Amino acid sequence: MVQQGLSTFAEIAHGFIDSDRLKLILFAAGVKPAAFAALKIDSMNLGEKYRFEQHLKDIVFVASKARSFEEISKIEKNKIYWSFNGVWIGYDLFNCYHGLKQFKEYVKYVTMQNHDKADRIAGKLYGYPDCCVENFIKEHDLNYLKEKYTCYEYYKRLHDSVRRFPFVFHTPCSKNCTATAKLNNLYKHALKKTAPKFYKEFSRKKSLKTDLIIDAESDVFDKNRNTIWPSKDGHEYPTIARTPFQGHHYLYAYLTKKCYERGTVLGSKVDMRYNYADIKAYKTKDAIKNLMHIRKFQALGRKF
Ligand SMILES: [Zn+2]
């Protein structure tokens, strides 16, 4: 049964990022068995906590304590200033009590650092394909990981996955995974049917011309904090957009064969669609020395 009230609320509420909006709509459509979403509350949407919980009256859920979050408020010379913008509450929704029980087990195993067991439970709970869960677990082994992929291949595969399967939330075992393709299709159609406006907006290409500031490179580290790829054939950099998009300075992941110093400023065009951004960097404009983030609170997110 489609929970249309919840779906409509998820579609229009101010406090959700798009990927959480998507999860809630799919949950409300009855195709996703469990979902986590963070509701951000600031001065613009003080009533949304109450309204969201009204829609959850007949749903099994747990809500976290409210935690603060920061957003980039200004960028000046080498300093990225973050400021307190509001609070967020994490909601875990389940289609039955058994889901909540599984979730508690999952959290228990994460706390015990038994990640293999935790991931198998999470896979069942969230409806991820078994082949992808088993592959994900195999890739916990860093020796296996570095044998399987070069640095560029590792990130390329993640970038390719979100482009090929923009409606799923797990890491597919390969780009040819038929179970993932099936799930992606199921989610796409459910979204199109129950939330057509959001579907249109989510799939629409949005472009932004901006300078991007290269931040510290993404990497995979071993226990001793050494990279598992000492010689790199490519790089993934988080980049910070100098020009805001819809009022926010977004961070975009940039995958490239070129090597850039932290603080390099690239004149770029960013094409956003679904949950990813394609970046065309056309010119190196500047080099910022000693780039630093000025922030007080933890980033939005949690360990499990
Ligand atoms: Zn798979």
51-81: per-residue pLDDT in tens?
999 999 999 999 999 999 899 999 999 999 9
Residue for token pair 């797990």: 170
- Indicate whether 302 pLDDT > 90: no
- The average pLDDT across 221-242 equals 96
Separation of CA 178 and ligand 1 centre (Å)? 7
In this prediction, residue 303 carries a pLDDT of 58
| pTM of the entire predicted model | 0.93
Residue for token pair 């869960």: 133
Give me the residues near ligand 1 (ion), CB cutoff below 5 Å: 129, 131-132, 173, 177, 179
Separation of CA 135 and ligand 1 centre (Å)? 8
Separation of CA 132 and ligand 1 centre (Å)? 4
72 phi/psi in degrees, rounded to 5: -70, 125
- Indicate whether 299 pLDDT > 70: no
State the average pLDDT for the chain. Answer: 95
For 50-81, letters b (16+ CB in 10 Å) and e give: eebeebbeebbbeeeeeeebbbbeebeeeebb
In this prediction, residue 296 carries a pLDDT of 76
Separation of CA 65 and ligand 1 centre (Å)? 34
Separation of CA 179 and ligand 1 centre (Å)? 6
In this prediction, residue 2 carries a pLDDT of 82
Separation of CA 296 and ligand 1 centre (Å)? 39
- Indicate whether 165 pLDDT > 90: yes
Separation of CA 137 and ligand 1 centre (Å)? 12
Separation of CA 126 and ligand 1 centre (Å)? 14
Going from the C-alpha of 31 to that of each of 35, 95, 114, the distances in angstroms are 11, 10, 29
CA distance 227 to 229: 5
Separation of CA 183 and ligand 1 centre (Å)? 10
Separation of CA 39 and ligand 1 centre (Å)? 30
* Contact assessment for residue 190 and residue 142, using Cβ atoms and an 8 Å cutoff: no
- The average pLDDT across 220-239 equals 96
Domain architecture of the chain: domains with CATH: 4-202 (no CATH), 205-294 (2.40.50)
